[in-house]
Amino acid sequence: MEQKPAIDLVLLAVSSLYNNPNTTEKERASQWLGDLQKSVHAWTVADELLHHKRDLESCYFAAQTMRSKIQQSFHELPPEAHSSLRDSLLEHIAQINEQTNTIIVTQLCVALADLALQMPTWPRASLDLITKFSSTNMWPLLEILTVLPEELENRSVRLGENRRLDVLNDFKSCSTTILEFLKHCANTYTDNSQENVQVNIKILRCFTSWVSVGAFELSELGNNIVINRAFGILTYKPEGEKQTVGGALHSAATDCICTLLQCLEDNNNQQILETYLFNNVINLEVAYHMSVANEDQDKSINYCRVFTELAESFLEKIIMNSNNKSQHYAMKVLDLVLICVGHHDYEVAEITFNLWYVLSEDLYQKNNKEITEMFRPYVERLITALCRHCQMEPDHEGLLEDGDDFKDFRLKVSDLIKDVVFIVGSSSCFRQMFINLQTPGVTWESSEASLFVMQAVAKNIVPTENEVVPKVVEAILSLPETTHISVKYTSVLLLGELCEWIEKHANTLDPILNFLVCCLPQQGIGAAAAIALQNICATCNDHMPRHVPIMLQLLHQVDTFAITNNAVIGLLKGVASIIGCMNPPELTTALRELCSMQMNPICQLIEQDVVPVKGTKTDPVLWLDRLSSVLRHICCKNNQSDGPHPCKEVVLEIWPILSRTFDKYDSDLRIMERCCRSVRFMLRCVSQQVREILESLVGQIVRIYSHFKHSCFLYVGSILVDEYAADASCVQGLLDMLHAFIEPTFLVLQEENGLRMHPDTVDDFFRLCARFLQRAPVAFLQCPSLVHILQCALLASSLDHKEANMSVMKFFYDLINQAQTDRSKADYKQRKDLVHRVLEEYGQNLVNNLLHACVFYLHSYMLSEVADVFVQLLDFNRETTGKWLANGLDQLPVQSNGGIVTATPQQLKDIHASITRSDTSKSVTHALKELTRLYR
C-alpha cells in the first residue's frame, strides 16, 4: 500500500467486512484491511478512526490495529514519535466510559501497556497512570495495571532479557504504591452492589498479575486486605449472613490464592505468609462440602484447585521433612485433595492428577523406602477412588466410543496408575483388584473397572507370579457367553498386557490363542483381540511359529471381521515378527503368502483400472500400508550368512508390482508417498542384496520426480544411498541420480518463498545429501553441484520448520565431520582438504547465518541442532571458528531503535567466550539460549 488511503475508504472496507452479506466482497475487504494493517499508514489511520468514533466496528478495528502494530511493528516508528503516540493513546483511554465496548477497552489497554514496556523514556509509567486516572477512570486504569505484568511475560512483544529485567525492577520500585493503591480500592468498594463486584474482580486480577511476575515482595504481603478479601470470598458463610458469591468473583479469588501458593513454592522462608495461607486454605474444607451439597460444580472445582496447589507448594517440604516418627504438618492437605478425588464427578478428580505425577516423580528420584512407604496409604486411597471413577453407567450398552470424554479420562487414569503404582507395588494393586472381582454380587461395571486397572499394571507383574495371574487367566478364558461386552473387551486387552507372563508359561499359550482367535470375528471384541494377539506375537515369538498356518488362514479372512484397518495392520506386524523366527525355506513361503495377500488386490485394481476411493479396498494405500507393516517388522533371526537373504526372492517378486503402482498413480501424491514407504521397507528388509533392481528403480524415481516433484522420491533416493553408496560400483549411478534430482528440486525451492512452502523437499533433499556425505564423502565433495547445494543449504538454514531445519543442520554437521571422522581410513587426508576448502569459502557465512537464525527465527528446541554444528566447527579449528564467531556476533544489533539495549558488549563477549571454550553441544546450546534471550 503506497499511499495512505482516505478515511472514508477505510470506513467502507470495515463496514463491508462486518456487514456485507456477499462473501466475495467480505473477503476482499478483509484482504485489503490486512494489507493496510501491514503498511506503515496503519498507525495514523488507526489513530484517526479512534478520533472519529464513527461506529463500534471501526473503533474495534482501530484499537486492534493499534495493539498489533505496537506489539509487532514498533520499530516502524521513529523514537521521536513515541511520546505523541502515548499522549494520543492516553487521550483515547481518558474517553472510555461505562458505554465503551469491553473488547475495545482491552485492546487499548494492552496497546498502552505494550508501548510502556518498549519505552525506556517513560519510567515508572504505572505511577503516572495512577496519578492520571485514579480519580476518573478506574476501569481502564485497573485493566492497564493488570495487563502490564502479563504482557511483560508474554513473548509476543520481543523485549529482550535486559529490558525485561529493567522493567521488572521498575515494577518493583512501584510496588509499594501499587499495593497502597489496591488497598485503597479494596477499602472503597466494600458493599455488594453489582458494580462493586465487578471492581473487586478487577482488583483481585490486578493483584494476582503483580504477584505472578514477582513484582511484590512476599514479605510485604502480611495481613493484606486483598488476600483477606479473597479468603473472605472463598470462606463458607453460616446461615444468616449468607450471600451468594458469583462465579467470576469466586474464580478471581481462587486464581489469586493459587498464584500466591505458586510463588511460595518458588520462595522459601516466608514463614508467616506460609502459615497464614495454610491455615486459611485448610479452613476451606467446610466451604468445599457446602459447594458439593449445593451441586455448585464450578466452586467445587475452584476449591479442588486451591487444595491441589497448596499440596504442590508444600510437597517438597513434606517429603524432605518427614520420617517414621513424625509427619510434616502439611501432610494433611493430601486428605483434602483425596476428598476432592472422591467427588462424584471425575472432572474434579482430574484436577489433582498433576500433583500425583509430581509426587511419584519426586519419590522415584528420592528412592527412599521409608519415605515412599509413608505415602502408600494415600496412593491406595487414590487408586481405589480412581477405580470407582472408571466405572461405566450400569445401563451402558456396548463399548465406550472413541473420542468419548469418559474414555479419554479412563486413558488418563490408566497412565496415572502406571506412574504411581510403584508406591503401593504392582502385585499388591493387582491382588486388590482381584479381590474386588470376587466380591459376592459384584456388578458388571465394578468388575470391568477392576479389570481395567489390572490391565494398566499387568506389564509390571513379575512373570514368575503364580498365585493370582493363573486364576485371572482361567477366569477370563471361561467367561460366560452372557458377559457384558465391555467386560469381555477389557479382559481381552488384559490378556494381551500379560504377554510377558504368558511367554514364561508356554502351556497357557494354546488355550489363550484359541480364545483370542475365536474373539477375532466378534463384533466389538475383534479389535481388542487383534491388539492382544499382536502383543503376544511380538513377545512370545519363539513359541509361535507352529501357529503360523492358522494365523495366515485368519489373515485371509480378516476383512470379513468387524475390526479396523489399524487392527489388521497390528496383526500383520505381529505375524511378520513371528515369521522372522522361522527357518529360511519356511520363512520364504510364509512371507510370500503374507505379501501376496496385499499385492494381488493391487494388481487387480491396476488391471481393472478402478478409481481409488480413499479408505476403501479400492484404495491402493490400504494394501500398501499393510505391505509396509509386513516388510518393516520381518526381522530374520535365523538367516545364514552364506546363502541369499530369505526375503530376497519375495522382494524380487514384489518390486515389479510396486513399479507398476508408481506408473499407474504417478500424479497422486498420497499414493506415491505410501508406495515410496513400501519401497523403503522393502530395501531395508534385504539390505544391500537387490542390486539387480537398482537400475530400473533409480530410472523410474528420477523420471517421475522430474515431472511431479513429489519429495518422497528424494527420500527413497536417500535410502538407496545409505544402502548402496558404500559400494564403489554403485557410486556413479547414485551420483547421476543426485544430479538428476537437483534441477527439479531447485526449481521448486527457488519459487517465491519456495523454502518456506516446501519444507518436505528441503528435509528430504538434505537428508539425501547427508547420506552421501556419510557413505561416499569424497565423491560427493568433488561433485560439481556441491557449490549450489551449499548455497541452498545456507539459505535454508534460517527456515523455521523442525524437520527441515534438522536435516539442514545435520547436513552441515556431517559435512564438517568428514574432516574429523575415520582418521585411519585411506581417504582421510583428501576428505580433510576438501572440507577445509569448503569452510575457507563458506565458514564465515555459515556462522553468520546460524547466529542470525538462532536470534531471529529458530525455536529454542532447535538450538541444540545448531550447537552440534558449532561443536563440529570448533573441533575443526577452534581459533578460526572463534574469529568467525566474533565477526558474526559483531553484526548483531545491540540496540533497538527505541533505545532499548539488546546486548551489551560485555554480554556478547561472554557469549563468545563460553562458546569458544565449549567442548559439548550442551554448553554451546546453553550459550545460544543466553544469546537468544537477549533478543526475545
Ligand X SMILES: *[C@@H]1O[C@H](CO)[C@@H](O)[C@H](O)[C@H]1NC(C)=O
C-alpha pair distances (Å), 901 with each of 71, 80, 776, 885: 18, 17, 48, 21
Residue 264 near residue 274, CB atoms below 8 Å: yes
**Alpha-carbon span 925 to 865, nearest angstrom:** 8
**Alpha-carbon span 352 to 766, nearest angstrom:** 46
Q: Nearer Cβ to ligand X, position 101 or 638?
A: 638
C-alpha cell at 437: 472381582
Minimum distance from residue 35 beta carbon to ligand X (Å): 18
Minimum distance from residue 645 beta carbon to ligand X (Å): 7
The residue among 12, 9, 83 whose CA lies nearest residue 41 is 9
**Site for ligand X contains 803 (CB under 6 A):** no
Minimum distance from residue 856 beta carbon to ligand X (Å): 7
**Alpha-carbon span 674 to 680, nearest angstrom:** 10
Minimum distance from residue 112 beta carbon to ligand X (Å): 13
**Alpha-carbon span 459 to 585, nearest angstrom:** 35
String of b and e for 121-142 (b: at least 16 CB within 10 Å)?
Answer: eeeebbeebbeebeeebbbbbb
C-alpha cell at 637: 533371526
Minimum distance from residue 640 beta carbon to ligand X (Å): 7
Kindly report the number of other CB atoms within 10 A of residue 833's CB atom. 12
Q: Nearer Cβ to ligand X, position 243 or 324?
A: 324
The residue among 461, 521, 540 whose CA lies nearest residue 494 is 461
Q: Nearer Cβ to ligand X, position 596 or 639?
A: 639
Q: Using CB under 6 A, which of 335, 727, 800, 827 touches ligand X?
A: 800
The length of the chain in residues reads 936
Q: Nearer Cβ to ligand X, position 88 or 639?
A: 639
Q: Nearer Cβ to ligand X, position 118 or 447?
A: 118
Q: Using CB under 6 A, which of 229, 801, 810, 926 touches ligand X?
A: 801
Q: Nearer Cβ to ligand X, position 106 or 565?
A: 106
Q: Nearer Cβ to ligand X, position 424 or 647?
A: 647
What track of x and - describes contact with ligand X for positions 285 through 314 (by CB under 6 A)?
------------------------------
Minimum distance from residue 4 beta carbon to ligand X (Å): 25
Minimum distance from residue 446 beta carbon to ligand X (Å): 35
Q: Using CB under 6 A, which of 55, 57, 150, 930 touches ligand X?
A: 150
**Site for ligand X contains 808 (CB under 6 A):** yes
**Alpha-carbon span 869 to 342, nearest angstrom:** 53
Phi, psi of 782 (to 5 degrees): -100, -5
Distance of CA 143 to the CA centre of its chain: 32
Helices (H) and strands (E) in the chain, counts: 46, 0
Residue 544 near residue 537, CB atoms below 8 Å: yes
Residue 565 near residue 530, CB atoms below 8 Å: no
Residue 721 near residue 672, CB atoms below 8 Å: no
What track of x and - describes contact with ligand X for positions 606 through 645 (by CB under 6 A)?
------------------------------x--x-x----
Closest-CB residue for ligand X?
A: 800
Residue span binding ligand X (CB under 6 A) among the ranges 196-204, 532-540, 791-799, 897-905: 791-799
Residue span binding ligand X (CB under 6 A) among the ranges 17-25, 298-306, 512-520, 693-701: 17-25
Window 447-486: residues binding ligand X (CB under 6 A)? none
Residue span binding ligand X (CB under 6 A) among the ranges 317-325, 328-336, 414-422, 890-898: 317-325
C-alpha cell at 35: 494489507
**Site for ligand X contains 797 (CB under 6 A):** yes
Minimum distance from residue 796 beta carbon to ligand X (Å): 4
The residue among 371, 370, 340 whose CA lies nearest residue 353 is 340
**Site for ligand X contains 649 (CB under 6 A):** no
What track of x and - describes contact with ligand X for positions 319 through 338 (by CB under 6 A)?
----xxx-------------
Q: Nearer Cβ to ligand X, position 68 or 629?
A: 68
Q: At residue 69, what is the residue type?
A: K
Residue span binding ligand X (CB under 6 A) among the ranges 21-29, 555-563, 694-702, 894-902: 21-29
Window 748-767: residues binding ligand X (CB under 6 A)? 762
Q: Nearer Cβ to ligand X, position 154 or 384?
A: 154
Q: Nearer Cβ to ligand X, position 140 or 496?
A: 140
Minimum distance from residue 39 beta carbon to ligand X (Å): 20
- Binding residues for ligand X, total number by CB under 6 A: 27
**Alpha-carbon span 727 to 222, nearest angstrom:** 76
Minimum distance from residue 668 beta carbon to ligand X (Å): 27
Task: Please list the residues that pair with 895 across neighbouring strands.
Answer: 901
Residue span binding ligand X (CB under 6 A) among the ranges 397-405, 487-495, 513-521, 804-812: 804-812
Residue span binding ligand X (CB under 6 A) among the ranges 80-88, 123-131, 700-708, 803-811: 803-811
Minimum distance from residue 140 beta carbon to ligand X (Å): 17
Task: Please list the residues that pair with 901 across neighbouring strands.
Answer: 895
Output 436-443 pairs: Cβ under 8 A, ≥24 positions apart.
436/387, 437/475, 443/394
C-alpha cell at 551: 494365523
For helices 565-579 and 620-633, angle between their N-to-C axes, nearest 10 degrees: 30
Minimum distance from residue 151 beta carbon to ligand X (Å): 7
Torsion of Cα atoms, 518 then 521 then 522 then 528, to 10°: 80
Residue 423 near residue 370, CB atoms below 8 Å: no
Q: Using CB under 6 A, which of 805, 817, 902, 925 touches ligand X?
A: 805
Residue 796 near residue 804, CB atoms below 8 Å: yes
Q: Nearer Cβ to ligand X, position 727 or 800?
A: 800
Largest Cα–Cα distance in the chain?
Answer: 95
Residue span binding ligand X (CB under 6 A) among the ranges 123-131, 401-409, 817-825, 850-858: 850-858
Window 852-871: residues binding ligand X (CB under 6 A)? 853, 857-858, 862
Q: Using CB under 6 A, which of 25, 48, 586, 727 touches ligand X?
A: 25
Q: Nearer Cβ to ligand X, position 601 or 759?
A: 759
Task: Please list the residues that pair with 626 across neighbouring strands.
Answer: none
Q: Using CB under 6 A, which of 798, 818, 848, 921 touches ligand X?
A: 798
Q: Using CB under 6 A, which of 182, 318, 799, 847 touches ligand X?
A: 799
- HEC letters along 774-810: HHCHHHHHCCCCHHHHHHHHHHHCCCCCHHHHHHHHH
Residue span binding ligand X (CB under 6 A) among the ranges 20-28, 171-179, 422-430, 443-451: 20-28
**Site for ligand X contains 8 (CB under 6 A):** no
Minimum distance from residue 854 beta carbon to ligand X (Å): 8
**Alpha-carbon span 910 to 927, nearest angstrom:** 9
Residue 729, judged by CB atoms within 10 A of its CB (0-12, 13-18, 19+), counts as exposed
Minimum distance from residue 853 beta carbon to ligand X (Å): 4
Window 335-374: residues binding ligand X (CB under 6 A)? 370
Window 152-171: residues binding ligand X (CB under 6 A)? 154, 156
Torsion of Cα atoms, 414 then 419 then 424 then 426, to 10°: 60
**Alpha-carbon span 899 to 896, nearest angstrom:** 5
C-alpha cell at 317: 517440604
Q: Using CB under 6 A, which of 89, 804, 819, 924 touches ligand X?
A: 804
Q: Nearer Cβ to ligand X, position 159 or 675?
A: 159
**Alpha-carbon span 183 to 194, nearest angstrom:** 20
Minimum distance from residue 839 beta carbon to ligand X (Å): 18
* Residue ranges in contact with ligand X by CB under 6 A: 22, 24-25, 150, 154, 156, 323-325, 370, 636, 639, 641, 762, 796-801, 804-805, 808, 853, 857-858, 862
